[in-house]
Each structure stands twice: as C-alpha cells, then as structure tokens.
Amino acid sequence: MAHSDDLGATWTEPEQGAIKFPDGTDAALERIWQIYPDSASRPGVVWAGCEPISVWKSTDGGEHFELNRGLWDHPHRSEWGAGYGGAAAHSIVVNPSGENVHVAMSTGGVYRSLDGGTSWEARNKGISAYFMPDPNPEFGQCVHKIAADAAVEGRLYAQNHHGVYRTDDNGENWVSIADGLPADFGFVMLTHPRREGTAWVIPIKADSERIPPDGHLAVHRTDDAGNTWKRLDVGLPDHEYNAVLRDAAAVDSAEPAGVYFGTRGGSVYVSADEGESFIEVASHLPDVLCVRAAVVSGVVSAAVAAELAAAAAASSLPA
C-alpha cells in the first residue's frame, strides 16, 4: 500500500510493506480490497479490508497497519468461503463515534462490532443465502456491498448476491427494499454524503447473466430509504452489456452530489446532478475496477459541471 500527501503527485510506500500478516497466522496478503479513511475527528485512522478475509487498522495515516485479531480469530472464520472473486473483506463502515464498525465479506455476510473492533458478531437476520441448504443462516451470506445512511444513525443499506436490503437498527434486522428495481442482483451500493434516505444501485440481471437488465445500463436512486426507486439513464447507452463492479462507483461531497462509475467494458460515466444525467468521460480503458472522487476546493465539481453542460448543449440532452 502506498500513500500520497500531495494529491497523487508523489507516492510513498513503506519499505517493509504497510500490511504484513504477523508470525503464527500462517497467512500472506493476497489483495487489498478496501481502504476506508475514518472520521475527520480521528485523523490518521485508516481501515483496510483484505484477502484472505481480514480487517486491518492504521493510526498513523497508513504507515503501519495492525491485524484486527478479534475478526481474524473469530470462531466462524474456518467456515467463511470465497465468492466468485475471492475470499475478502470488501466493505467497512464506521459510525461517527468509532464504536460501531460493520464489515461485509464474501462469503460470510455482515459482521458488527460495538466496541471499535475488539469483538464481532454476525448480523445477517433477513438477508437471504439462497445458494445454501439453509437459505437464512446466521452467517455465510454473500453480501456484495454495504453503505451507511449519512443522516440516520444505525441505518445501513446492502446489495446482496440477489437481494437489496436496509437495516434501521444497526444490523439487528434487515428488510428487503428490492421492489421497484428491474433486478435484485448487483454489486454497487452508494449513499448520499448528507441527505437522509438517498442511495444508488446499478442492477445486473442475474448471477448467471451478469449484464444490465435488457442490455440497458441504468442507475437507480431512492430518496425514501428504498420504498421507491427512480430509473436514471439519461446520457447512458441504449445497448450496454458490461457490468459495474462493487468499487467501480462513487459519489463526491459536492452540492449537488456527483455520481461516478466505470464499466467492465472500460467506459467511465459522470453525473453532476445526482444521477439525473450522465456523460461519458473516458472509454476504451481496461476493466474498470475502482472509481473514487473528491472535491478539492470545488475544482472537481465545477469541472464536471462545465463538461456536462457542454455535452448537453452538443447533444440536446437536458442540462
């Protein structure tokens, strides 16, 4: 893992590697799936989710990471499996106090800590695992992504391996919010940086057909915590058969929020109006694995808005 303190102009990587399994674990780092900066009130705290399934924490801005032994030594670990892409902790969500930490893994499901990561419990009640003998197990679900509601403490959203869910009680119970979507399979789950009840998903037809439903790429947004969904496809191609991976989508903190995603076909799309309209800003790239966006003194959002306005004028799309 490398880090930059100058917006990517230069990068620094620790000589010994920031993430290294301690002696006695009989494990070696395969991939880093998630980097999660903690709250601004805890500067320097960074979490990482890795393959094999493990969670790590740094308190010095990523110079050194420590393995979370509470999750690594969990009695369920021997029964966690590998999803199609590997066995990984791919989602980390920390609440403002830093005490409540949720981790999602493939496969294993959602695990919650109420003590900052010291101890962990499976929290998957209501999330289906249709591919298992018991479709409602305590753990073993293949949750693809989780994200927290920015305005409601204890509310999270999950995109599952078939299923879209919400919890309003910190993971104790999950309810389906898939009604109104063209499919309940997918990988992306994004939430608004400030507004209650707003989230985005990008549906995929099915596990066995990993393409957009009807070959029409579309983002879907809810503004009422999943009770209803709005299809957003202005500016997106009519015929698109490439999916979007779990970390190939992002929102920024602008007002209105920008929405970004890249496809497995190498195209990157950007919206400066929370998904109401999109433009393609890159194409013919390799498989897009990760997309991240940040507002730096308004420069990113202003540039995107200007490009979107120019594209709308050229194509007669609504601005």
Percent pLDDT > 90 in the chain is 79
**What is the C-alpha separation between 49 and 308, in angstroms, rounded?**
34
Per-residue H/E/C for the chain: CCECCCCCCCCECCCCCCCCCCCCCCCCCCEEEEEEECCCCCCCCEEEEEECCEEEEECCCCCCCEECHHHHCCCCHHHCCCECCECEEEEEEECCCCCCEEEEEECEEEEEECCCCCCCEECCCCCCCCCCCCCCCCCCECEEEEEECCCCCCCEEEEECCCEEEECCCCCCCEECCCCCCCCEECCCEECCCCCCCEEECEECCCCCCCCHHHCCCEEEECCCCCCCEEECCCCCCCCCCCCCCCCEEECCCCCCCEEEECCCCCEEEECCCCCCCEEEECCCCCCCCCCCCCCCCHHHHHHHHHHHHHHHHHCCCC
**What is the C-alpha separation between 72 and 56, in angstroms, rounded?**
10
In this predicted structure, what is the pLDDT of residue 105?
A: 96
**What is the C-alpha separation between 317 and 148, in angstroms, rounded?**
32
**What is the C-alpha separation between 109 and 86, in angstroms, rounded?**
14
Provide the pairing of β-strand 259-262 with 249-251. Answer: antiparallel
In this predicted structure, what is the pLDDT of residue 127?
A: 98
- What tens digit of pLDDT does each residue of 138-172 get? 999 999 999 999 999 999 999 999 999 999 999 99
Conformational region of residue 226, where left means phi above 0, alpha means psi within -120 to 50, and beta covers everything else: left
Give the sign of the dihedral formed by CA 76, CA 82, CA 87, CA 91.
negative
1-176 classified as CATH 2.130.10.10: yes
- What tens digit of pLDDT does each residue of 92-115 get? 999 988 999 999 999 999 999 999
Mean pLDDT value across the chain = 92
In this predicted structure, what is the pLDDT of residue 1?
A: 87
Q: Do 145 and 173 contact (CB within 8 A), yes or no?
A: no
Q: Do 219 and 261 contact (CB within 8 A), yes or no?
A: yes
- What tens digit of pLDDT does each residue of 261-293 get? 999 999 999 999 999 999 999 999 999 999 999
In this predicted structure, what is the pLDDT of residue 307?
A: 52
pLDDT of 120 over the 90 cut: yes
pLDDT of 51 over the 70 cut: yes
**Which range, of 24-28, 119-123, 226-230, averages the lowest pLDDT?**
24-28
Domain boundaries, the chain: 1-176
Q: Can you tell me the mean pLDDT for 120-126?
A: 98
- What tens digit of pLDDT does each residue of 296-317 get? 875 554 445 545 545 544 444 4
Cα angle, residue 174 at apex, residues 154 and 188 outer, rounded to 5°: 85
- What tens digit of pLDDT does each residue of 169-192 get? 999 999 999 999 999 999 999 999
In this predicted structure, what is the pLDDT of residue 285?
A: 96
Q: Do 183 and 204 contact (CB within 8 A), yes or no?
A: yes
